[in-house]
């Protein structure tokens, strides 16, 4: 019923004739008869816009939007200033293709250049690319960047988000490369074990800061261990934390990667998100994906182009470092608009509020009988230990009834909590009250 | 124009958050010492900065965008509206299963409808873009051969007309790439294919309609030759728009494929992403699929599962969800009549344009074409030194987005035109008129063509200089 074809059936026929054909069938004469479809099997009739609107609203209503979200683990509910969606909804940005024609794409190109600057500044690294799919693929691409002929192995700390580990392993299956887990000790990377695992085949160590449990790792020490063994370090970081924590650049990481979703993107059941990647000047030619560079036009006017394309698949084909083509350009712009709106003080405030609220929640939960699982400094996530798995489940169920999405159950009574700037003192107190009721 | 950082004045940001309502905590960990340089602008300046940037950006809504191989069709407004429903945007990906039944329904429905359109049996919606879907499909092929103890299948055959992502994806999946030449018609050279296959063949990657805009009439023979040799056939879905509802890759002998939802299924490209590249396969490969598999449970609704011998995950979480919502909205609207009608009109529009240009612009191959056609400016270049690039740049002064340039690689001085089904006859007539005018201009004053464009915000940019001395970020004074 619905379609977006402008021509009436009569016009279509006229065009066919003008093109020298009598019927649509003639256009498809190269399609073998035996594979021609009579009609799409078991397929619904088309519907109108009004009907599809109703249909999708009904489906959306089967999802529950929680009033309070205390769950993170890779996806975070932060405040998104209205200006962010206002800007990124502009049809030119939304419906443009990759900026191959630079003369009419300066808006997109400049916005990516600004995004690259933001990411380089946030991470303290020299250079950034224009984005990859998400934080996990950024880590996998980062591991790829570090591989050399004789050094192909990736050491992944056990405190890295298991979703990231899974993606790094899947990518490594493609490369026929080995991934080895570095054990954890009391919630942090076991440095002694790490030193034992580092060898001449190790390309890099993948470290997450703050780690999956929210804990702040001894990044400086881990990087020193890796570099001593001539391995590189890929550091996966939460971008909000970079407003206050020591940056990968200051710590001497070789590649900084992360999930950009906290910077202005909704949780949206997991995507689209954006993977950011930054590295040193020395490794710039190993960076995958698009990179925008500044240049001049024939009149000497400043402008921007896609640059260093000799790294990429459309030029190097099977010799390219990565196959990435489409990235998450509009999400990169979202990040840039978010950072422009918040500014340095705004982002620091988000980080400070996250830390303070998470620590306040941890304190209240502790008083309510949910003790911290680890005695380590954390950013805005932390793990508690319930007396039993059943109690943990009971707690989360009780919270759900109060419109609160509690922390993520990790099994064995462990719960991974997160608090961001959007939760209020009252919500945190209600959470603790509820926990107290369950634990009696 | 100024960079956002050049508009910045310290202390000017708008405040968006309330005051902290709990005791403030300061961390003991090692803290950032490096100054945090981010833009400092009041909201009005942020808005104006981006409004100015938007004026220097060309989207589909601004006019015809006949970028071959990219399927730049109109992006329906309702898709944006449905994807923005709070029930879709404000849902955490790790919520309890009973609170995300809607999201799982989106996955199950999209998968179901894509299998019908393609003749595949199962889809993973996890891949975030076309190339990501290719990589996924190749890992399925790898896992399949290894699961049968067949470790000798290490080569992927790729025609020389293929998208660059094909060989690059094969390399990422650990395969050796065997490039085979196309024949004079732009089709797969059957003899070359027969010579290339063997016990080391893992598979073939093919785009059909191919990248010169032709449906390969030997498709069944091609897939037969590969299967005969024990290899699998991968379908690059970049050109699905030409044949959806008309013929299905699954019926042509393909075992695994990807779809670009951001091409065929109308989701916007966003200046380069986000896209979505679902990977589909026949039943015998379904156990290897990555990511979320939605299953029906008795009485309790939908549940989240994974495939029995999954290759793992291609990214965090289940996929580019909002993009999938937009594509599903589009598929629902089109339905069983709208889908083939869309394909037919995409093909009609391309043939209509081709017919009206072919007396001036030499076509690389004869029609009828599918949804796109390739012109070659080789002769023009030889005779007048006016190149495909010059013609493309001249289009900019007429407000028309140029076709894809210099692709496929097998055609010299190529311009690849894909008007899509959403352009009207008048728009096509106008574009034809402009292209004919440019041709006349080129013959009359070839030298002037190298100066084009003249009216764009910037003119031709020094790409060589940009790559030689890369400046890829703004440098702050401190």
Does residue B300 sit at the A interface (CB-CB below 8 Å)? no
User: Cβ of A15 under 8 Å from any chain B Cβ?
Assistant: yes
pLDDT surpasses 90 at B300: no
pLDDT at A2 over 80: no
Model pLDDT, residue B50: 98
Give chain A positions within 8 Å (CB) of B134. 323
Q: Where are the domains of chain B?
A: 78-333, 340-464
B477 touches chain A (CB under 8 A): no
What is the predicted pLDDT for the residue at B365? 93
- Nearest chain B CA: its distance from A264 CA (Å): 12
pLDDT higher than 70, residue A17 = yes
Tokens 């496929």 locate to B408
Which residue on chain B is closest to A327 by alpha carbon?
A: B273
Residue B115 host element (H or E) = helix B101-118
Check pLDDT > 90 for residue A133: yes
CA distance B290 to B308: 10
pLDDT above 80: residue A286: yes
Please report residues of B whose CB lies closer than 8 A to that of A340. Answer: 4, 38-39, 41, 46, 49
Residues A210 and A379 sit within 8 Å (Cβ to Cβ): yes
Q: Do B91 and A269 touch (CB under 8 A)?
A: yes
pLDDT band at A311 (very low <50, low <70, confident <90, very high): confident
Domain B78-333: CATH architecture, name and number where available: 3-Layer(aba) Sandwich (3.40)
pLDDT of residue A354: 98
With beta carbons under 8 A apart, name residues in chain B contacting A5: 341-342, 345, 421-422
Domain ranges of chain A: 9-61, 68-77+344-439, 82-337
Average pLDDT of the segment spanning A403-425: 98
Find all residues with CB under 8 Å of A395, minimum gap 6, and list them: A370, A386, A406, A415, A434, A435, A438, A439
Q: Which of helix, strand or coil describes residue B414?
A: strand
Using an 8 Å CB-CB cutoff, list chain A residues near B344: 24, 27
How would you label B378-407 residue by residue, b for 16+ Cβ within 10 Å and e otherwise?
Answer: bebbeebebbbbbbbbbbbebebbbbbbbb
Rounded to whole angstroms, how far apart are CA atoms B273 and A137?
Answer: 15
Q: Which residue of B has its CA nearest to A401?
A: B99
Percent of chain B surpassing pLDDT 90? 96
Residue A128 touches chain B, beta carbons under 8 Å? yes
Q: What is the mean pLDDT of residues A127-143?
A: 98
User: Rounded to a whole number, what is the distance in Å from the CA of B375 to chain A's nearest CA?
Assistant: 17
Q: For residue A342, give the nearest of B11, B13, B85 by CB distance.
A: B13
The rounded distance, in Å, linking the Cα atoms of A261 and A272 is 8
**Cross-chain CB nearest to A93 (options B57, B349, B460):** B57
A404-439: burial string, b at 16+ Cβ within 10 Å, e else: bbbbbbbeebbbbbbbbbbbeeebbebbbebbbebe
Q: What are phi and psi of B381, to 5 degrees?
A: -60, -45
Whether A243 and A191 have beta carbons less than 8 Å apart is answered as no
Which fold would CATH assign to domain A82-337? 3.40.640
Residue B42 near chain A (CB below 8 Å): no
pLDDT of residue A129: 97
Distance from CA of B281 to the nearest CA of A (A): 18
For residue B183, pLDDT beyond 80: yes
All residues of chain B having their beta carbon less than 8 Å from the beta carbon of residue A89 are 80
Pick the residue from chain B with its C-alpha nearest to A20: B355
Give tens-digit pLDDT for B41-79: 999 999 999 999 999 999 999 999 999 999 999 999 999
* Rounded Cα gap, residues B141 and B118, in angstroms: 18
Q: What is the mean pLDDT of residues A79-107?
A: 96
CB count in 10 Å sphere of residue B240: 26
Any A CB within 8 A of B13 CB: yes
CB contact under 8 A, A107 and B94: no
* B161 to chain A, closest Cα gap in Å: 12
Question: Quick one: fold of A68-77+344-439?
Answer: 3.90.1150
Q: For residue A426, what is the nearest residue in chain B, using CA coordinates?
A: B21
φ/ψ of B5, rounded to 5, equals -75, -25
Tokens of B200: 């080391």
Please state, rounded to an integer, the average pLDDT across all residues of chain B. 96
Residue pair B275/B269 in contact by the 8 Å Cβ criterion: yes
Query: Contact B421/A5, CB-based, under 8 Å?
Result: yes
When pLDDT is averaged across residues B252-262 and rounded to a whole number, the result is 98
Residue contact A400–B96, C-beta within 8 A: yes
Q: Do B422 and A4 touch (CB under 8 A)?
A: yes
* Residue A1: predicted pLDDT: 58
Q: What is the pLDDT of residues A333-365, one digit of tens each?
A: 999 999 999 999 999 999 999 999 999 999 999
- Chain B residues within an 8 Å CB radius of A90: 50-51, 54
Residue with tokens 């039944």: B101
The answer to whether the pTM exceeds 0.95 is: yes
Give A366→chain B minimum CA distance, Å.
16
C-alpha distances out from residue B47 to A117, A344, B281, B369, Å: 19, 18, 45, 44
CB within 8 Å of B358: residues ≥ 6 apart:
B367
- Residue B477 has a pLDDT of 86
Cβ–Cβ contact B290 with A under 8 A: yes
Across B350-379, average pLDDT: 96
pLDDT at position A440 is: 85
Distance from C-alpha of B322 to C-alpha of A328, rounded to nearest angstrom = 13
- Mean pLDDT of the B273-297 span: 96
Q: Which one of 3.30.70.270, 3.40.50.2000, 3.90.1150.10, 3.30.43.10 gives the CATH number of domain B340-464?
A: 3.90.1150.10
Is beta strand A153-157 parallel, antiparallel or unpaired with respect to A202-209? parallel
Model confidence at B375, pLDDT cuts 50, 70, 90, reads very high
Is A97's CB within 8 Å of B269's CB?
yes
């Amino acid at each position: 019923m619905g379609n977006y074809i402008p021509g009436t059936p009569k016009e279509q026929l006229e065009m066919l004739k003008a093109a020298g054909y009598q019927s649509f069938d003639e256009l498809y004469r190269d399609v073998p008869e035996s594979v021609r479809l009579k009609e799409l099997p078991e397929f619904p009739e088309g519907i109108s816009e009004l009907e599809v609107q109703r249909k999708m609203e009904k489906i959306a209503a089967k999802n529950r939007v929680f009033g309070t979200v205390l769950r993170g683990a890779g996806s975070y509910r932060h405040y998104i200033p209205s200006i962010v969606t206002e800007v990124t909804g502009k049809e030119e940005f939304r419906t443009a293709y990759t900026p191959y024609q630079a003369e009419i794409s300066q808006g997109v190109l400049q916005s990516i250049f600004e995004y690259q600057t933001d990411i380089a500044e946030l991470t303290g690294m020299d250079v950034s690319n224009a984005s990859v799919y998400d934080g996990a693929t950024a880590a996998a691409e980062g591991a790829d960047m570090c591989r050399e002929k004789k050094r192909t192995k990736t050491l992944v700390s056990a405190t890295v988000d298991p979703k990231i580990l899974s993606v790094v392993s899947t990518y490594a299956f493609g490369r026929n490369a080995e991934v080895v887990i570095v054990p954890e000790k009391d919630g942090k990377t076991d440095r002694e074990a790490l030193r034992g695992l580092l060898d001449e085949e190790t390309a890099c160590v993948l470290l997450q800061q703050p780690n999956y449990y929210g804990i702040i790792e001894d990044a400086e020490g881990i990087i020193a261990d890796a570099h001593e063994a001539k391995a590189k370090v890929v550091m996966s970081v939460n971008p909000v934390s970079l407003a206050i924590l020591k940056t990968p650049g200051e710590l001497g990481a070789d590649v900084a990667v992360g999930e950009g979703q906290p910077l202005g993107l909704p949780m949206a059941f997991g995507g689209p998100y954006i993977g950011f990647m930054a590295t040193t000047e020395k490794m710039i030619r190993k960076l995958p994906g698009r990179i925008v560079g500044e240049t001049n036009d024939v009149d000497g006017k400043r402008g921007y182009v896609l640059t260093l394309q000799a790294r990429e698949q459309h030029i190097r084909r099977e010799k390219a470092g990565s196959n990435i083509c489409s990235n998450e350009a509009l999400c990169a712009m979202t990040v840039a608009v978010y950072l422009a709106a918040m500014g340095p003080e705004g982002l620091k405030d988000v980080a400070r509020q996250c830390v303070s609220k998470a620590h306040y929640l941890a304190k209240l939960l502790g008083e309510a009988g949910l003790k911290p699982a680890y005695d380590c400094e954390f950013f805005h996530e932390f793990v508690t230990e319930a007396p039993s798995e059943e109690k943990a489940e009971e707690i989360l169920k009780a919270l759900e009834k109060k419109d609160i999405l509690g922390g993520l159950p990790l099994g064995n009574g462990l719960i991974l909590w997160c608090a961001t700037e959007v939760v209020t003192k009252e919500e945190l107190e209600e959470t603790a009250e509820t926990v107290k009721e369950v634990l009696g | 124009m100024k960079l956002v950082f050049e508009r910045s004045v310290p202390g000017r940001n708008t405040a968006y958050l309330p005051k902290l309502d709990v005791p403030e905590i300061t961390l003991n960990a090692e803290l950032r010492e490096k100054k945090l340089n981010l833009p400092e602008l009041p909201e009005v300046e942020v808005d104006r900065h981006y409004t100015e940037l938007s004026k220097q950006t060309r989207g589909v809504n601004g006019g015809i965008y006949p970028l071959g191989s990219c399927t730049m069709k109109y992006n329906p407004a309702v898709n944006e509206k449905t994807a923005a429903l709070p029930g879709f945007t404000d849902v955490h990906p790790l919520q309890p299963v009973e609170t995300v039944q809607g999201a799982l329904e989106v996955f199950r429905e999209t998968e179901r409808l894509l299998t019908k359109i393609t003749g595949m049996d199962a889809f993973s919606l996890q891949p975030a873009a076309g190339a990501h879907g290719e990589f996924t499909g190749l890992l399925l092929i790898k896992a399949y051969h290894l699961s049968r103890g067949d470790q000798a299948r290490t080569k992927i055959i790729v025609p020389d007309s293929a998208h660059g992502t094909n060989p690059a994806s094969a390399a990422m999946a650990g395969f050796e790439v065997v490039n085979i030449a196309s024949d004079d018609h732009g089709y797969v050279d059957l003899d070359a294919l027969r010579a290339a296959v063997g016990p080391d063949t893992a598979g073939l990657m093919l785009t059909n309609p191919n990248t010169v805009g032709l449906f390969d009439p030997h498709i069944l023979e091609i897939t037969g030759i590969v299967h005969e040799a024990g290899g699998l056939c991968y379908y690059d879905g970049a050109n699905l728009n030409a044949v959806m509802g008309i013929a299905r890759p699954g019926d042509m002998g393909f075992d695994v494929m990807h779809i670009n939802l951001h091409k065929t299924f109308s989701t916007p490209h966003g200046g380069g992403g986000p896209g979505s590249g679902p990977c589909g396969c026949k039943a015998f490969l379904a156990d290897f699929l990555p990511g979320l598999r939605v299953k029906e449970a008795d009485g309790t609704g939908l549940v989240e599962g994974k495939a029995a011998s999954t290759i793992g995950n291609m990214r965090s979480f289940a996929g580019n969800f909002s993009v999938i919502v937009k594509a599903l909205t589009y598929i629902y609207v089109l339905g069983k009549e709208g889908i083939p009608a869309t394909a037919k009109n995409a093909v009609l529009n391309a043939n209509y344009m081709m017919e009206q240009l072919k007396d001036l612009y030499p076509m690389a191959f004869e029609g009828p074409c599918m949804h796109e056609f390739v012109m070659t400016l080789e002769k023009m270049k030889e005779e007048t030194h006016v190149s495909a690039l010059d013609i493309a740049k001249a289009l900019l002064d007429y407000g028309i987005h140029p076709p894809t340039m210099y692709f496929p690689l097998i055609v010299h001085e190529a311009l690849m035109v894909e008007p899509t089904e959403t352009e009207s006859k008048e728009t096509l007539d106008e574009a034809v008129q402009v292209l004919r005018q440019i041709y006349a201009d080129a013959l009359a004053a070839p030298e002037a063509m190298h100066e084009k464009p003249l009216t764009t915000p910037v003119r031709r940019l020094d790409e060589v200089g940009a790559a030689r001395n890369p400046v890829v970020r703004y440098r702050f004074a401190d």
